[in-house]
Amino acid sequence: MTPESQLVRHAGKLYEKGWMAGTSGNLSVRTEDGIRITPSGKHKGELSVADLVAVSGQGQDPVHSSARPSAEISLHQTIYRNRTEARAVYHVHTVEANVVSQWAKSGNLEMPPLEMLKGFAWKGYDPRPFLPVFANDPDVGAIAGELETYFHCRRGFTLPGFLIRLHGLTVWGDSPDSAFKHIELFDFLFRFMVLSRPFSSGTCS
């Protein structure tokens, strides 16, 4: 199965989970000549490989298609440029990702020390990892700039993903299957965080 057909299969699964509702979210894979990414405005439950838009690794222009690539292509390009191991980048909108994105302090969301973190090759004795949370911005290029800075400045263990506040989750992996797994792991962590949030955290008079 080619990376492109794996992406299409994953798009159907992610749609069925309710994580790509409407026409939201975008998925891409790295290819020999650049990137294949989901088109803008296309329903993710009805994709075929022929719908994917070919884009160069750097530029904005579609290479082989008249369809428009996802508006968030610059985020994908920033990840592929900075993470040479990345072969797939998946971006979804889940309810829990939106909820926990509001809890980040100073742009970092501390992950709970769950066994599931080991799915990211985190060792139990490492400090608890943080997931970066960027402000949402109608100018996606501004978010891509923040992400570029993060890649240049971050040291030590880093999780293969980030949140955009009140928007969604983006992950990458060294294969489409790996990116899909990372979406599932983060979803588990976020659901745990939502369910274990103390009910007493509201304001009392």
Select the span of 9-17, 98-106, 141-149, 168-176 touching Zn ion (CB under 5 A).
168-176
Tell whether residue 62 is a contact of Zn ion (CB under 5 A): no
Does the footprint of Zn ion cover residue 69 (CB under 5 A)? no
Residue with Cβ nearer Zn ion (6 or 26):
26
Our CB check for Zn ion shows the closer of 98 and 175 to be: 98
| CB hemisphere CA count around 115 (13 angstroms) | 0
Does residue 132 interact with Zn ion by CB under 5 A? no
Segment lying near Zn ion (by CB under 5 A), choices 82-90, 140-148, 163-171, 174-182: 163-171
Taking the least distance from each CB to Zn ion, the nearer of 40 and 175 is: 40
* Closest approach of Zn ion to the CB of residue 122, in Å: 26
Number of residues lying near Zn ion (CB under 5 A)? 1
Q: Is-contact 19 170, C-beta < 8 A?
A: no
> Binding to Zn ion by residue 168, rule CB under 5 A?
yes
Q: Of 101, 104, 95, 125, nearest to 113 (Cα)?
A: 125
Of the pair 22, 112, the CB lying nearest Zn ion is at 22
Residue nearest to Zn ion (CB): 168
DSSP assignment string, 62-131: BSS-SSPBPTTHHHHHHHHHH-TT--EEEEE--HHHHHHGGG-BTTEEEPP--GGGGGGT--TTSPPPEE
- Which residue lies nearer to Zn ion by CB, 109 or 117? 109
The minimum distance between CB 161 and Zn ion, in angstroms, equals 13
Are 31 and 3 within 8 A, CB to CB? yes
CB of 27 to Zn ion, least distance (A): 11
Smaller CB separation from Zn ion, 160 or 168: 168
Kindly state the smallest distance separating residue 97's Cβ from Zn ion, in Å.
10
Q: How far is CA 14 from CA 35, 39, 93, 165, in A?
A: 20, 16, 10, 20
Assign 137 to helix, strand or coil: coil
- Residue (of 58, 60, 8) closest to 29 by Cα position: 8
> 11: closest CA among 76, 91, 77?
91
- Tell me which residues touch Zn ion (CB under 5 A): 168
